[in-house]
A and B are shown apart, each in its own frame.
Chain A
Amino acid sequence: MAYVAVKGGREAIENAARAFRFEQVKGESSPLAVEQIREQLSLAVDRVMGEGALYAPDFAALAIKQTSGDLLEASFMLRAFCTTQPRLGYSLPQSAAEMRVIRRISAAFKEIPGGQILGPTGDYLLRLLNFDLATEDDAGHRQVRERLLAEIPSAEPLPESFPKIVEMLHREGLLMREDNSRKQQDIFDVTREALSFPASRSAALQSMARAETGGLLALAYSNMRGFGMVHPTVGELRVGYMPVRVMNPYTESPELVGEVKVTEAEIISECREGSGEKPRFTLGYGLCFGHNETKAISMAVLDRSTLAAEPSTPSEDQEFVLLHTDGIEAVGFCNHFKLPHYVTFQSALDRLRKSQEEKE
């Protein structure tokens, strides 16, 4: 009777792992260096760090290599790695006004204080395949770099920081104020506690900062397209480096320990009237690790859409949004249906047969 394996599970999965590894090495090309991935596939690295919720470019690049470029799997590896590390502390809250900006734009105003800085973006590139890249070698790579550096027009260096557009709107009384009275110790930690609903804003923002780009995009798009009411104006979108500061336990003064690249989006949406107050615009906020504008904007739209008191679409329902956009949870559950389910199927068969008998 050869239809069911009684023994051999161990051997089977070991062989499957070998076959998977073989797929990576069967071609004749030289192995990818982790640093090549980090430098040349930086947007993939950024995405993995964001969804894996760990700012570690080298580990992210390694994970991308190890998973043959499956970014969900790579993010998953970073998360699993975090589990093995103790929690040493929390960094201090930081205003994005301190960001060392490499790109910032506002769709709300033609001119903004500090100016529109396009920075490194592919937004206005024609999506035409560049066949030169197909044959690029080391020398060509270097030449391009040197030429680009030589061609850069001598511009004044960017200022250390830029004023926040949203702050201007606040000063003019055009925006609803968020309640910022909560202290730092009230900040929820989604890695240490299970979400409960309604989730606090800190819990919601953390969840979305870790969420899968595609998941956030799908729900945000549903809202913008018609199953919702958020018609976003990008108040400000920034990409740049945020300082990370922690409190020195001995001197009790803040210490700069490094910086992380982030994308921040603030979207302005339709006005609302508070009770007995003047109508004001409302704001949606998005921030994620790395350069990932789609994610930051989607997050900002969903931050705003889930403020709805009476949700009438999926993207307005906080529980719906937060519980279904975590890529690592979703992908795990989706794929678990590949596991054997014959015991439960047998149980269902028993019910069906009995029910069919009853009908006869």
Chain B
Amino acid sequence: MVKFSDWFDSSLNASIHAVYSFAFIDEGAKREIRRKTLKAVAIPGYQVPFGSRDMPVARGWGTGGLQLTLSLIGTDDILKVIDQGSDESVNAVNIRQFVERVTSVQTTEDTTRATVIQTRHRIPEEHLKDGQILVFQVPIPEPLRDVEPSERETRRMHAEADYSRMWLFLYEDIVRYREISIGARYPVMVNGRYIMDPSPIPRWDVPRLHQADTLYLFGAGREKRIYAIPPHTRVEPLEFEDHRFRVEDFSGRRCTRCGRDDTYLDELIDDASGTRVYTCSDTSYCAKTEREKAV
């Protein structure tokens, strides 16, 4: 037990390892989170409730992903953290620094080197291999929330695979806008059983969930849910035979930095000219492409 007086000096610096256990969360809690993760892997797309712990990072800022990362990470892991595709986004930096401080693990920006990647809103562009784990931060784990506010009711709907209201929602959208209005957070059917929220990744990333080599884990800290897509699982975006799912249209555009035309792009307004320009959302891949071109 730490004496009260010790707390006045320990401002999360050198003494952090003496004060907090490896990976911050106490061992009993880590074990519980791992167990719930195994359950999630065993039932692809099913939201497993778990005793979400309070993190020193605010609820809604990646605490679900963070608990998964901290419960899984070991000393030999190499961690990458991204937000909106960028390693340098302030929240990604904050989370990476925190995990570094409480584990001393190696970190990287290179997608191919990382063993654990925690992400908010993107899947890295580069191919993810067997043995890598992608941990998603999830704000709203319930894909049916927009059609049904009550948790009690959505749990029932999942249990009975009663998804008619979701299909109706999509159909009405098409009638109204001639287009499905959902941008990111596009609902998917996992293993032909559960409709799942893939977290607010763009539709661009959704096809990457299907039959992947990698384990995808989803953590919602505030809503206290863990779910998973194990490798080589069928993941299909909801679509109609006569109205197919489509990803964001970047045709005719390319990254002004690296020149790629096959990545998800951020749209920027140029200060000087006021014109729209585009750059890769995946900044480390963009930089890698630039480096390779320079060679």
What is the bound-complex CA distance between A331 and B83, given in angstroms? 20
Check A358–B178 contact: CB distance below 8 A: yes
Number of residues on chain B facing chain A (CB within 8 A):
80
In the complex, what residues of B have CB within 8 A of residue A344's CB? 121, 183-185, 200, 202
A85's nearest neighbour on chain B, judged by CB, is B26
A332 at interface, CB cutoff 8 A: yes
In the complex, what residues of B have CB within 8 A of residue A128's CB? none
Contact with A along B1-28 (1 / 0, CB 8 A): 0001001100000000001110011111
B78 at interface, CB cutoff 8 A: no
B59 at interface, CB cutoff 8 A: yes
Q: Give the contacts of A185-213 with B (CB-CB under 8 A).
A: 189, 191-198
A349's nearest neighbour on chain B, judged by CB, is B267
In the complex, what residues of B have CB within 8 A of residue A8's CB? 88
A167 at interface, CB cutoff 8 A: no
Contact with B along A320-334 (1 / 0, CB 8 A): 000100001101111
Check A76–B54 contact: CB distance below 8 A: yes
Check A355–B26 contact: CB distance below 8 A: no
- Nearest CB of chain B from residue A209's CB, rounded to whole Å: 15
Main secondary structure, interface of A, reads helix
Task: Pick from A9, A348, A359 the residue with the most CB of B within 10 Å.
Answer: A9
Q: Give the contacts of B131-147 with A (CB-CB under 8 A).
A: 139
B289 at interface, CB cutoff 8 A: no
Q: Give the contacts of A150-193 with B (CB-CB under 8 A).
A: 189, 191-193
Which residues of B pack against A, CB within 8 Å?
4, 7-8, 19-21, 24-29, 32, 49-56, 58-61, 63, 83-94, 97, 120-122, 139, 150-152, 155, 177-185, 200-204, 222, 224-225, 248-249, 256, 264-271, 277, 279, 281, 283, 287
Interchain Cβ contacts under 8 Å between A and B, 28 examples: A1-B277, A4-B268, A59-B4, A62-B7, A80-B56, A84-B19, A84-B26, A189-B51, A191-B53, A193-B49, A194-B224, A196-B152, A197-B150, A319-B151, A331-B59, A332-B58, A333-B139, A333-B222, A335-B58, A339-B91, A340-B84, A343-B266, A347-B204, A350-B183, A351-B182, A351-B183, A355-B177, A355-B178
Top 7 closest pairs, chain A to chain B, by CB:
A332-B59, A336-B60, A194-B49, A348-B183, A347-B183, A194-B224, A332-B58
